[in-house]
Structure 1
Amino acid sequence: MLGGPQRLAAPSTTRLVKSRAKVILEPGHSPLDWARLTTSGKNLRGVDSMGPITMEEVKKHKSDDDCWTVIYGKVYNLTPYLKFHPGGKKELMRVAGRDGTKLFTYTHSWVNIDSLMGECIVGYLVPS
């Protein structure tokens, strides 16, 4: 029958997905370039030795040229990685000086943070 229920459009079951703007990385800042840098022997930590770090100390490192975050209780110096991040520096700055575990888990649950950022570990978070 014309106009019967079987001819009506089914309700949409698709989600509206917010499109992301493309981030163009500078030349020399590809994932392969990052892999080369992490195996170069260069000190990416920015500190002489790893140690216990309080959240108060992490909060002091929240600028473009000094950016730390906490992920799963480990403190990472994100500064050398800012220009390599496929989502752009702006996305990493959202967790600068903060615990970024929740956002990291939400957006990158499949990423092994230790293999990606292991050379940038500054220390381990301890209570104040």
Structure 2
Amino acid sequence: KPSRKVILEPGRSPLDWARIANHPTSDLRNLPAGTPYLRVTPSMLKQQTGRKGKDAWTALNGRVYNISPYLPYHPGGEPELLRCAGRDGTKLFGEIHPWVNYETMLASSMIGLFVEET
């Protein structure tokens, strides 16, 4: 299935994202300064859907990322990226973007580790 690209606003290219995300002082987690990585359970993740003023988080291969800052930069559009918000997006991401190095791309927005409920 071919991907559908959307027209992004000026200043929202992959290079623009890389410049922001790779800046040495960049912290795109939207957590209080100094917050250590969190242990995120499925019930915690489920609350972070990007709706009702909440950030959009997704889990990818055991790590949880705040994808809200990346939404306006996503070449497939915000609705497409929000399909994995609030849940484990590993399978969907792997089907659509197996070549993308998300660990580098989203490093500055990593929330923590995806863990089982206790």
Q: TM-score range by the shorter chain?
A: 0.7 to 0.9
- Aligned pairs for 1:1-128 (under 5 A) are 20-40=3-23, 41-47=25-31, 48-64=35-51, 65=53, 66-128=55-117
* SS across alignment from 1:76: strand
Normalised by the length of structure 2, the TM-score is 0.87
Structure label with greater radius of gyration: 1
* d(CA) in 2 for partners of 1:34, 1:20: 20
Deviations 1:98-124 (A, max 9, x none): 100000000111111111111111000
**Percentage of pairs with the same residue:** 46
Higher relative contact order structure (alpha carbons within 8 Å, sequence separation ≥ 6): 2
**Normalised by the size of structure 1, how large is the TM-score?**
0.80
CA RMSD of aligned residues (A): 1.5
Q: Which digits, 9 at most, give the CA deviation of each residue in 1:55-114, with x for residues without a partner?
A: 111111002551000000100000000000111101111001010000000011111111
- Bigger shift: 40-49 or 99-108? 40-49
The runs of 5 or more residues in structure 2 that have no matched partner are none
